[in-house]
Amino acid sequence: MRIVVGADHAGFPLKELLKPWLESCGHQVDDLGAAALDPEDDYPDFAAAVARAVQAGAAERGIIFCGSGVGASITANKVAGVRAGLCHDTYSAHQGVEHDAMNVVCLGARIIGVDLSKEILTAFLSAGFLPEPRFQRRLDKLLQVEAEG
């Protein structure tokens, strides 16, 4: 799967640890920054870059790393067509894709470590949207809210 990743200073170390692992799992990973640890950078820059890449179809899924994951999730969800979820457990990671067509996951690098992140990302990347009528109905309603602004 083609994936885009991004991180601010708080998420940078976790992103750097997980990129080679994602590639070893067979994913194509495009890193949208930060390219170096910069304590003065801001999460919206990287969250927006990942969200816009997913929106444009440059990647099937996006992963954003920041301190808590909250700001990244808020930012990414401002981009039309992006459904970002903050996930610190495996259930939310796969259920968000299966039921809600989540296409971006946000991880709080100050909240969870490498091993749990790998489990969460495995759940996120291996899940697919379940085209059951109730999930499609809910997704259609979500898309209507998005279209109305």
For residue 37, how many C-alpha atoms fall within 13 Å in the half-sphere facing its CB? 7
pLDDT beyond 90 at 149? no
Kindly report, residue by residue over 66-78, the tens digit of the pLDDT: 999 999 999 999 9
Domains and CATH numbers, the chain: 2-148 (3.40.1400.10)
Average pLDDT, the chain: 98
Q: Is 66 a catalytic residue?
A: yes
Active-site choice (25, 66, 87, 106): 66
pLDDT band at 16 (very low <50, low <70, confident <90, very high): very high
Between CA 129 and CA 64 the distance in angstroms is 20
Taking the complete model, does pTM exceed 0.95, yes or no? yes
Between CA 23 and CA 3 the distance in angstroms is 10
Between CA 63 and CA 134 the distance in angstroms is 27
No. of H helices and E strands in the chain? 6, 5
